[in-house]
Amino acid sequence: MSIELMTLAMFGTLILAITLGHPLAYTLAAVAALFGLIDNGFSIPMLFDMFANNAWGLMENYTLVAIPLFILMAQILDRSKVSDALFEALYVVLGSIKGGLGLAVVVVCTVFAATTGIIGASVVAMGLLATPTLIKKGYQKELTAGIICAAGTLGILIPPSIMMVVYGGLTGLKETSVGNLFAGAILPGLILAGLYFIYILIRCNLNPTLGPPISKQEASTYTAGQKWAMTLKSLMPPLLLILAVMGTILAGIATPTEAAGLGALGSMVLALFNRKLNFTVLKESAYATLRTTAMVMMLFIGGKFFSTVFLGMGGGDVVADLLIGSGLNRWLILVIMMFIVFIMGMFIDWAAILLVTVPIFMPIAMELGFDPLWFSLLMCVNLQTSFLTPPFGYALFYFKGVAPEGYTMTHVYKGIIPFVFLQIISMVILCLFPALATWLPKLFFGS
């Protein structure tokens, strides 16, 4: 069988297995095992050696130690209710503005994203906390769902992000180290949050019935000084945690793995400060961390095995020759690669997409002359859409699981459409101004 047919058959089998609903980690490993046997003449010992070496290499990757530490930090923060106090303060400060409660959700999710890289925690926490309040104050159901789902996914982009840790551990390039990815993702993440902020503000001012302000009587309950005091009191603890984690990385004091350990300790201090730290919280956080880490690492092993077999049989060269040899403009090739990632995001988990596409697309991007750090961050912004795009956007189901009665998936699907377009706009902005992704890494770590 030719390499071209093997490449087509391997991807076709993977898509078929995923469509049938098999667990993704085992699907990747099984497809890799099948085509690895075909490629090496059905030599089981050779295939086993390849699998063992790949798994052992992953387990020795020091960078990946940051994953369980960041997950533990997120789990403890989720249970310490840090976001509750901040939302209550911003409810009073921004509530008198048209769309102000929606803006408060974006601000809280942005701050929460900078303290945790777990999407489920943000969407579920804000879904439980903010949805009943927004609906009670007259916010449109679709807009409410869109705000919470979109803002809740900022944690996958704004560092510290689990996706960045996985990406950095996957490429092994100095340009795409976790520190560079963290620094490079700050501005794109804030720009995306800013686009959400501006969209909500404009839309609710054009049509105030979508997001009416709170009553003047409720808004005047607190003086301006009391409002500032409430905001600063609720904002300072998470900002100090952000400074402890990101500040030490950007200052070169700590590696991302060491900063993750500091973040986990800091989250316990915040939980203690909020009187939420007890044995039950620690136990539940540890169990949730164990389950999530096991899931991520199994995906990592299956995806790494798949990419090793695929590249080993020459599949990467086939894809590269198809794109580069097509004679198309390099920007058009970039659009094709991003479109493939976008479509895959509708059906496949972000970790599997990274593990399958990065080993193939990164060499192509570098051969076309694109900056590897810029390309990586463009990929990460693109992958954020995978949490919002139907039919399998995780954020949509997280929100639906905690939404009040009367919410349907139709409300949720309609609500996220504008925010998906905003994410695409942020990708266009990043293409027009590449320095948004490369300026901070050069500033903190040099060229």
Say yes or no to pLDDT of 217 above 80.
no
- Work out the mean pLDDT of the chain and round it to a whole number: 84
406: phi then psi, degrees, rounded to nearest 5:
100, -15
Say yes or no to pLDDT of 348 above 80.
no
- Higher local confidence (pLDDT), 253 or 122: 253
Say yes or no to pLDDT of 447 above 60.
no
pLDDT, average across residues 435-441:
92
Of all residues in the chain, the percent with pLDDT exceeding 70 is 97
User: What pLDDT is attached to residue 157?
Assistant: 87
User: What pLDDT is attached to residue 184?
Assistant: 92
Distance, CA of 212 to CA of 220 (rounded, Å): 16
Of all residues in the chain, the percent with pLDDT exceeding 90 is 19
pLDDT per residue over 95-149, tens digit each? 788 888 899 889 888 888 887 666 666 787 788 878 888 888 888 989 999 999 9
User: What pLDDT is attached to residue 193?
Assistant: 93
Say yes or no to pLDDT of 23 above 80.
no
User: What pLDDT is attached to residue 118?
Assistant: 66
Say yes or no to pLDDT of 231 above 60.
yes
Say yes or no to pLDDT of 424 above 70.
yes
Looking at mean pLDDT, say which of 3-7, 177-181, 352-356 comes out highest.
177-181
Categorize the per-residue pLDDT at 178 as very low, low, confident or very high, splitting at 50, 70 and 90: confident
User: What pLDDT is attached to residue 423?
Assistant: 94
Categorize the per-residue pLDDT at 168 as very low, low, confident or very high, splitting at 50, 70 and 90: confident
Domain residue ranges of the chain, discontinuous segments joined by +: 3-445
Q: Report CA-CA distances (Å) from 279 to 147, 287, 292, 325.
A: 34, 12, 20, 60
DSSP collapsed to 3 states, the chain: CCHHHHHHHHHHHHHHHHHCCCCHHHHHHHHHHHHHHHHCCCCHHHHHHHHHHHHHHHHCCHHHHHHHHHHHHHHHHHHHCHHHHHHHHHHHHHCCCCCHHHHHHHHHHHHHHCCCCCHHHHHHHHHHHHHHHHHHCCCCHHHHHHHHHHHHHHHHCCCCCHHHHHHHHHHCCCCCCHHHHHHHHHHHHHHHHHHHHHHHHHHHHHCCCCCCCCCHHHHCCCCHHHHHHHHHHHHHHHHHHHHHHHHHHHCCCCCHHHHHHHHHHHHHHHHHHCCCCCHHHHHHHHHHHHHHHHHHHHHHHHHHHHHHHHHHCCHHHHHHHHHHCCCCCHHHHHHHHHHHHHHHHCCCCHHHHHHHHHHHHHHHHHHCCCCHHHHHHHHHHHHHHHHCCCCCCHHHHHHHHHCCCCCCHHHHHHHHHHHHHHHHHHHHHHHHCCHHHHHHHHHHHCC
Cα angle 259, 261, 262; round to 5: 60
User: What pLDDT is attached to residue 117?
Assistant: 63
Categorize the per-residue pLDDT at 433 as very low, low, confident or very high, splitting at 50, 70 and 90: very high
| Burial bucket for residue 291 (CB in 10 Å: 0-12, 13-18, 19+) | exposed
Say yes or no to pLDDT of 63 above 80.
no
- Higher local confidence (pLDDT), 145 or 8: 145
Categorize the per-residue pLDDT at 408 as very low, low, confident or very high, splitting at 50, 70 and 90: confident
Q: Report CA-CA distances (Å) from 152 to 117, 126, 156, 157.
A: 10, 8, 9, 11
Say yes or no to pLDDT of 196 above 90.
yes
- Judged by average pLDDT, the poorest of 46-50, 134-138, 384-388, 417-421 is 46-50
Say yes or no to pLDDT of 69 above 60.
yes
pLDDT per residue over 294-324, tens digit each? 887 888 888 888 888 888 888 777 788 778 7
pLDDT per residue over 353-403, tens digit each? 888 888 889 989 998 999 999 999 999 999 888 888 887 777 888 888 888
pLDDT, average across residues 4-15:
82
Q: Which two tokens stand for residue 70?
A: 């960041």
